[in-house]
Amino acid sequence: NESIYILAIESSCDDTSVAVLKNNTILSNVVASQKIHEEYGGVVPELASRAHQQNIVPVTDQALAKANIDKKQLSAIAFTRGPGLLGSLLVGTSFAKSLSLALDIPLIEVNHMQAHILAHFIKADTMKTPAFPFIALTISGGHTQIVKVKDFFDMEILGQTLDDAVGETFDKSAKVLDLPYPGGPLIDKYAATGNPYAFEFPIPKVKDLDFSFSGLKTSILYFIQKQTSQNPNFIQENLEDICASIQFTIIQILMRKLKKVVKKTGIKNIAIGGGVSANSGIRKALKAAEKELGWTTYIPNFEFCTDNAGMIGIVGYYKFKLGQFTSQETSAKARYHI
Point out which residues bind Zn ion (CB under 5 A). 140, 307
278 binds ligand KG4 (CB under 6 A): yes
User: DSSP E strands: which ranges in the chain?
Assistant: 5-10, 15-22, 25-33, 76-82, 107-111, 134-139, 144-151, 154-160, 269-273, 296-298
| Shortest Å distance, C-beta 106 to ligand KG4 | 26
Map the footprint of ligand KG4 across residues 38-67, applying CB under 6 A.
Answer: none
Nearer to ligand KG4, 92 or 106 (CB): 92
Spatial separation of the C-alpha atoms in residues 200 and 171, rounded to whole Å: 19
Spatial separation of the C-alpha atoms in residues 170 and 185, rounded to whole Å: 9
307 marked ligand binding residue: yes
Spatial separation of the C-alpha atoms in residues 66 and 82, rounded to whole Å: 27
Tell me, residue by residue from 109 to 148, as one string, x for binding to ligand KG4 by CB under 6 A and - for no binding: -------------------------------xxx------
Nearer to ligand KG4, 188 or 241 (CB): 188
Map the footprint of ligand KG4 across residues 305-334, applying CB under 6 A.
Answer: 306-307
11 marked ligand binding residue: no
164 binds ligand KG4 (CB under 6 A): no
Strands 15-22 and 25-33, sheet pairing: antiparallel
Rg of the chain's alpha carbons, rounded to an integer?
A: 20
185 touches, from ligand KG4, Zn ion, none (C-beta below 5 to 8 Å by class): ligand KG4
277 marked ligand binding residue: no
> What are the φ and ψ backbone dihedral angles of 138, each rounded to 5 degrees?
-105, 115
To which H or E segment does residue 226 belong?
helix 214-230
Numbered residues of the known binding site for Fe cation: 112, 116, 307
Q: Which residues bind ligand KG4 (CB under 6 A)?
A: 13, 140-142, 167, 170-171, 182, 184-185, 188, 274-276, 278-279, 306-307
